Structure 1
Amino acid sequence: MKPADLFSALAARPADAVALRQGTEEWTFGELLAAVEALLPRLAACRVLAVLADNSPAWAIADLAALGNGTVHLPLPTFFSPAQLHHALTETSTDVVLSDQPERISGLDLGFVAGGEWQGLTWLQRAVAPLSLPPRTAKISFTSGSSGTPKGVCLSAAGLLDTAGALHERLGDLPISRHLGVLPLALLLENSAGLYAPLLRGAEIVLPALASLGWRGMAGFDPSALQQVVISCRPQSLILVPELLKAWVMYLQATGLPAPDSLCYIAVGGARVAPELLLQARALGLPAYQGYGLTECGSVVSLNRPGDDGDDVGRPLPHVDVRIAKGEVHIASRAFLGYLGDPAAVAGARQTTEFATGDLGKLSGDGHLRLAGRSKNLLITSFGRNIAPEWVEAALLAQPAIAQAVVGGDFRPWLYALLVPAPGCGEPELAAAVERANLTLPDYARLGNWLNVPPFTPQNGQATGNGRPIRNAILEHHAAPIAALYENEETAHVFL
């Protein structure tokens, strides 16, 4: 699918039908197309447009205008740390930023100068040498970052719209006329499945400010706020990560309140979903269905739906080819053009569109994809954030009070650490060290709790001869106290 196909679909809708909504503000399909058209001249000289902003119709309009103009769009998650923002803007040679947080951009000292306002966002620009990108790059999506410097994924417009078109086809018979954007639009999952796909089907998209939906940054997530918004705006669909679904389920169980009755489809993705959680959600009236995807594949790869559901991540969508090679899931699509800075990708010399996911899995007899864990040592929190434990461990080991550290938290809402104190240091010193280390990390990579443990040594089988901790042995040895850290949900420290 090409951008022209998307805009043709928008033009075919009744001009006075509502396309986007935030509070009392409405944008009809006619007004949406006019706003996109009006922005195009201002993007004429822009090579890379970054948007750092809360969810809003303005975010969606800027994204569509970049798509229509052929301008590369760099969505910036608001949870990125200053170092990650600096890295993303520098590595992409971004020349224009639209933001409702202009002070964060100015504070990076990258030469951006404010040049007026547009739709409530500040327009910042700078003169910077252009960067060579893979041919057909339409969007650069930086993941949460498995280390302090996230990797930029270069994606094609055709591949992204293939995803949207496949979702529209797979869910086309469901009575979805209004979608509520709950995840940040800067996340590719909401961008593709929550913006492009609903627009293709002519659905209204409601885009409240994220705080009004219960997002509280370091303080976690308030499901009561989400419940009230869903009751108020009555959407038929929304997208959640597992931890938000869990919070909502626990809220309904604790209060005895009924689930909103307007919903017919809740897509849950971004990380592994416990089957028990899906059963609990549906028993309460939340129609939750698990899916699976990756940034490199244009987001959604497979999903379950009413009438085609299983204890797995669903049937692959028709726009992707999925095969299993030596137990690992490989996926081919038109979306992935290469990683930022890869000379072969810039030269257009990639020999295949196939991507090795690092996930272990198999295709079942009914054509569904079943995952069996990861082949790489990468943590994925239940909020869908990718985190290399070595990155967080390095921040901890930079503290004099900490002699050894092993970080975990795969499929959990927050990270924990097993800490060995330096000689002469005790609990107070460790607590202060963790607090200092957390300040150097973005919210989602900070520790929610930790344990003071004995040293990891070759003698107890928890370290190699050269002193490197043996991760699996350590986590297995401390499995019981680790599990106890997560038992009290009320005192858990959740970082998004």
Structure 2
Amino acid sequence: MSASLVLDVLAAHPDRPTLSDHEQNLNAAEVISAVRDMAEKLAGYQVIAVLADNSVNWVLADLAALQLGAVHLPLPTFFSPAQMVNALTQAGAAAVLTDQPERIVTLGLGFECRWTRGLLSMMCRQVERPVLPNGCAKISFTSGSTGSPKGVCLSAVGLMATARAIQETLSPLGVTKHLAVLPLSLLLENSAGIYATLLNGSQVHLPSLASLGWRGMAGFDPAALQQSVVANQPHSMILVPELLKVWTVYLLATQQVAPDSLRFVAVGGAHVDPALIMQARQAGIPAYEGYGLTECGSVVSLNRPGDEGTGVGRVLPHVQLRLNNGEVHLQTSAFLGYTGSTALPAPALHEFATGDLGELDAQGHLHLRGRSKNLLISSFGRNISPEWVESVLLAHHAILQAVVLGDARPWLVAVIVPMPGVNPAHVDAAVTQANAQLPDYARIQRWLVSPPLTLTNGLATGNGRPQRLAISQHFAQAIESLYRLEETTP
């Protein structure tokens, strides 16, 4: 039904440009035909994973899964092998559509190539039918706040309600061409970039991630992003704060501006400094902050031209919000539960406690006041449990204590207490070995060596648990120096 909703919108204007990448440029009628063709190739599988670069075919596979009533499992390309195995196993995926078949084979899960079409290969295996919530259409593992996160099971109805709310909120802006910059495996680009744009009858352009400036651990190249935006002249984009920052700094440093075709650049996934929003606009980027969660189908609130404030925007109409002792609780029709859960919420009980503290102003705009939990959210919008990374560090004999920090930063730092008698070279080697066990977004890039964290110095509890706030405050100046050192290192 949800795929039909999108296809019905496309059918109303069959000649309208709809999906394009470096190889294909499809109008609405061609997209409808291609979705039906893809659905024939994917028929018979309950859970279909996709591990691939951004492309027209990625979107066709997603819409085909919706058309079939199958479950789509988007696999982030930055997942470690262990996280990939975890996601495929928890979801019970019997098929993977991928442009990286060798990565799937080396996981040792029994996948074999069934067919190849262009750059995509269909990898299949025999697996028991998974137990998933009724109505599950998509499983999102986001970036993985731990080494083996649970997948969020989302309904097609809820995903389309989110997309429709975004589309209706932004329709006055007259957006007819969206440039997909974030990986499609991220729900934010999937829901707000693809579904909302197609429901608006608009075009989505899907360059490869490398051509947009994504460089993995080497960072992000803002010159490539600027070149792509200038070449494609989009009306809208979605960015995470770190991409907005590096693009803004690049434009200001090179005395360039973003193309005046841009009407709306949504920024979400992590906290955005209001000063960065203002700097971006000085560089010609019409940046507007929003807020969302995977469990809610992505976007929950949004600022837009003519209706913005200092918070994260007005709560969208498909969301019910309740403040419980200052914590934001949200309810939508998207959230069905988690993979592996023995007790899934009943249909009327989809409220989700976010861990975020907030308040509503008189205009109905949401203001966030910090997090009630330890979860770190990088400026790339990736969720990271510090305890997970610390456990990997502490597995090495050279390290006695470790505390990981880096909320709203592009990468992580650590405060490390070496074992007595261990020299700095051994600590360096331990961190290097730990990083090799972690995905790139969860690696420690720089670290401080500290005396023991104890109850006496106020940096630990009596049973040795680190006092995170006290530690971050105690080492604030030194930590800031680490980030400045990285920024100034040629």
Q: Which residue of structure 1 lines up, in the alignment, with residue 356 of structure 2?
A: 359
Return the letter of the residue paired with 1:276: A
d(CA) in 2 for partners of 1:426, 1:259: 49
Worse overlay, 407-416 or 476-485: 476-485
Q: Which amino acid aligns with 2:219?
A: G
Q: How many Å apart are 1:24 and its aligned residue?
A: 5.0
What is aligned with 1:340?
Answer: 339
Q: Does 1:456 align with 2:444?
A: no
* Aligned counterparts, 1:84-483, within 5 A: 84-345=83-344, 349=346, 352-483=349-480
Structure 2: how far apart are the matches of 1:75 and 1:158? 18
Work out the CA distance in 2 between the residues paired with 1:42 and 1:256.
49
1:65 is displaced (CA, Å) by: 0.2
Match of 1:5 in 2: 5
Tell me which residue corresponds to 1:49. Answer: 48
Equivalent residues in 2 for 1:25-36 (5 A)? 25-36=24-35
Contact kept, 8 Å, 2:39 with 2:61, in 1: the verdict is no
Q: Which sections of structure 1, spanning at least 5 residues, go unmatched?
A: none
CA distance in 2, matches of 1:24, 1:155: 31
Q: Deviations over 1:36-68 (max 9, x none)?
A: 111222222111000000000000000000011
Distance 1:66 1:294 in 2: 22
Q: CA–CA distance in 1 between the matches of 2:138 and 2:23?
A: 30
Q: CA deviation at 1:454?
A: 1.2
Distance of 2:403 and 2:327 partners within structure 1: 26
Aligned-partner SS, 1:258: coil
Amino acid at match of 2:97: L
Write the deviation string for residues 128-183 of structure 1: whole angstroms up to 9, x where unpaired: 10011101000000021111002200000000001110111000011211100000
Does structure 1 conserve the Cα–Cα contact (< 8 Å) formed by 2:31 and 2:60?
yes
**Using the alignment, how far apart are the partners of 1:185 and 1:119 within structure 2?**
19
Aligned-pair CA distance for 1:471: 1.8
CA contact (8 A) 2:2 2:66 kept: no
| 1:327-369 deviation digits (Å, cap 9, x = unpaired) | 0111111000011122222xx6365111111100011111100
CA contact (8 A) 1:3 1:161 kept: no
Contact 2:113 2:121 (8 Å CA) reproduced? yes
1:23: how far off? 2.2
How far the C-alpha of 1:492 sits from its partner, in A, is 6.9
Aligned mates of 1:69, 1:17 — CA distance in 2:
25
Contact 1:312 1:370 (8 Å CA) reproduced = yes
8 A Cα contact 1:409 1:415, kept in partner: yes
Which range is displaced more, 23-32 or 448-457?
A: 23-32
How far off its partner does 1:465 sit? 2.1
Q: Which amino acid aligns with 1:380?
A: I
For each residue in 1:187-226, what CA deviation from the matched residue of structure 2 results, as whole angstroms up to 9, or x when unmatched?
Answer: 0000001101111111111100000000000000000000
Are the aligned partners of 1:338 and 1:350 in contact in 2 as well (CA < 8 Å)? no
Between the aligned partners of 1:143 and 1:377, the Cα distance in structure 2 is 17
> 2: distance between equivalents of 1:321 and 1:489?
42
Report deviation, 1:491.
Answer: 4.9
Contact 1:267 1:291 (8 Å CA) reproduced: yes
Separation in structure 2 between the aligned mates of residue 239 and residue 428 of structure 1, nearest angstrom: 42
Q: Which amino acid aligns with 1:5?
A: L
- Distance, in Å, in 2 between the alignment partners of 1:472 and 1:40 is 51
Give 1:481 shift: 0.5
Partner of 2:19: 20
Aligned counterparts of 1:42 and 1:17: Cα–Cα separation in 2: 26
Q: TM-score, normalised by structure 2?
A: 0.98
Q: Distance in 1 between matches of 2:69 and 2:133?
A: 14
2:94 touches 2:124 (CA, 8 Å); kept in 1? yes
Q: CA shift at 1:488, angstroms?
A: 3.6
CA contact 1:239–1:266 (8 Å) conserved in 2: yes
Whole-Å separation in 2 of the counterparts to 1:319 and 1:107: 42
Offset, 1:17: 2.1
In structure 2, C-alpha distance between the alignment counterparts of 1:429 and 1:60, rounded to whole Å = 47
Question: SS in structure 1 opposite 2:171?
Answer: coil
Is the 2:454–2:460 contact (alpha carbons within 8 Å) kept by the matching residues of 1?
Answer: yes
Distance in structure 2 (CA, Å) of the matches to 1:430 and 1:344:
43
Q: Which runs of 4+ in 1 moved over 6 A?
A: none
Contact (CA 8 Å) 1:278, 1:288: kept in 2 or not?
A: yes
**Corresponding pairs, count:** 490
Q: CA deviation at 1:453?
A: 1.2
| CA distance 1:438–1:492, change in 2 (3 Å) | farther
Measured after TM superposition, the shift of residue 433 of structure 1 is 1.2
> How many Å separate the matches in 1 of 2:131 and 2:175?
41
Secondary structure of the 1:173 match is helix
> In angstroms, what is the RMSD of aligned CA positions?
1.4
In structure 2, give the amino acid aligned to 1:469: P
Identify the match of residue 484 of structure 2 among 484, 487, 490: 487
1:123 positional shift: 0.5
Taking the aligned partners of 2:23 and 2:188, their CA distance within structure 1 comes to 26
| Separation in structure 2 between the aligned mates of residue 186 and residue 114 of structure 1, nearest angstrom | 22
Cα distance change of structure 1 residues 36 and 276 upon mapping to structure 2, 3 Å threshold: same
* Percent sequence identity over aligned pairs: 59
Between the aligned partners of 1:426 and 1:305, the Cα distance in structure 2 is: 54
- Could you say what secondary structure the match of 1:410 adopts? coil
Structure 2: 5+ residue runs without aligned partners?
A: none
